[in-house]
Structure 1
Amino acid sequence: MAETRRRPRADRSEATRAKLVAAARELFREHGYGGVGTEEVVRRADVTRGALYHHFADKRDLFRAVHEQVEAETIAAIAAEMESAETPYALLETGIRSFLDVCTDPAVTRITLIDAPPVLGWAEWREIDMRHGLGLVVAGLQGAIDAGALAPRPVVPLAHLLVGAMGEAGMMIANADDPEAARAEVEPALLGLLEALRA
């Protein structure tokens, strides 16, 4: 009986947390981190201020949860796109193109590329980025090396370098006056880096 009472409370608590993250995500996307106050978040989420501080230490902690959610969804979307690739090398090309497509989405770039580095600090932002994306890049590179499409090299350092190049490409797109034009410029450069790794 006690367990059944606890479950609905836990469900309500999780639902409240999800409402806060969803409301904050909309507001951070629309106004940026600096343009949003916690009172706006609780009003949009239709919860109490106490509920916010029950789940999150402060606005930065809430932003971190939003950023984590955006990162996880972004990597899942890229991985889903990569599944359509017919060869291990095409899988890497598809992954790069999918990442660049995501970088033109203002809802993603505002949170992950513009606000996250200064709000979270470079080290924490990078740790989150690597935790979500590095494994996908390592697996893609290892698959291409195993298939003979790329020359054998130490995979983890290579993955870090490729993620770094992609991150800089993303920053270039996110901060451009014309993100679509910047994306068009950077795609052949990134694909050229990948081509240079061919066996």
Structure 2
Amino acid sequence: MQEKNERRSNRERSESTRAVLIEAARRLFIEKGYAETATPDIVAAAGVTRGALYHHFEDKKALFSAVAEAEARAVAEEIDRVAPDDMPAREALVKGGEAYLDAMTLPGRTRLLLLDGPAVLGRAGMDEIDDRHAARSLRAGILFAVRSGDLPRDLPVDAATHLLSSAYDRAALAIEAGGDADAYRAALAMLIDGVAALAG
């Protein structure tokens, strides 16, 4: 029993250290940018040793990837919370998109996911992360709308997911830069309704 408790305690300490590193790195990546953040800065901010950092992450890039993954997961959780499975398809798409835009207003999130993310991890690397989170939710919503007849049956789901995801990303960046959030929300809803009208 004691051995089991020790294993649990070690695992909890390990998870706690990992979480502290991710949070410290997130803060520094936002404040200073990825290129200007050195691993000694992260170690100092997290209050851990360099050995602890490299025990959990191969390098700074791997740590950045973990930060991006955590941010993307948080965004997807908000989308899924606002647009549950029992919501009508068209409403779920619109509400889910609005939830995405809301979630992206968290300070630093657009920089991490839409600017630094592709620069550090490459477009393919960020797409892999997105495909596990917000893009997965969006694709599921589009597929549900196609199957329910709210969107055209012959709509290419993967292509539509990529295009609509790009539109939401662009809106998030524009809103952060001071754009009219209501105008972007309305335009995106009209875009969805325009495609829905083709369903007849």
Shift of 1:91: 0.7
2:166 pairs with one of 157, 160, 164 = 164
* 8 Å contact kept, 2:68–2:113: yes
* Equivalent position amino acid for 1:188 in 2: A
Shift of 1:119: 1.0
* 8 Å contact kept, 1:103–1:173: no
Comparing 54-63 and 151-160, the one that deviates more? 151-160
| SS of corresponding position for 2:108 | helix
Equivalent residue runs for 1:49-68 within 5 Å: 49-68=50-69
| SS of corresponding position for 1:150 | coil
Shift of 1:24: 1.0
* 8 Å contact kept, 2:145–2:151: yes
1:189 pairs with one of 184, 187, 190 = 187
Distance 1:31 1:49, change over 3 A: same
Stretches of structure 2 that go unaligned for 5 or more consecutive residues are none
Stretches of structure 1 that go unaligned for 5 or more consecutive residues are none
Shift of 1:34: 2.5
| SS of corresponding position for 1:145 | helix
2:127 alignment counterpart? 126
Scaled by the length of structure 1, what TM-score is found? Answer: 0.86
Equivalent residue runs for 1:6-85 within 5 Å: 6-83=7-84
| SS of corresponding position for 2:133 | helix
* Equivalent position amino acid for 2:159 in 1: P
Shift of 1:185: 3.7
Distance between the aligned counterparts of 1:33 and 1:173, measured in 2? 23
* Equivalent position amino acid for 1:147 in 2: S
Scaled by the length of structure 2, what TM-score is found? Answer: 0.86
Distance 1:82 1:29, change over 3 A: same
Q: Percent identity?
A: 39
* 8 Å contact kept, 1:75–1:132: yes
2:147 alignment counterpart? 146
RMSD, matched Cα: 2.2
How many residues matched? 195
Deviations 1:157-185 (A, max 9, x none): 322322232233334444x2x1xx25344
* 8 Å contact kept, 1:85–1:94: no
Shift of 1:53: 1.0
Moved over 6 A (4+): none
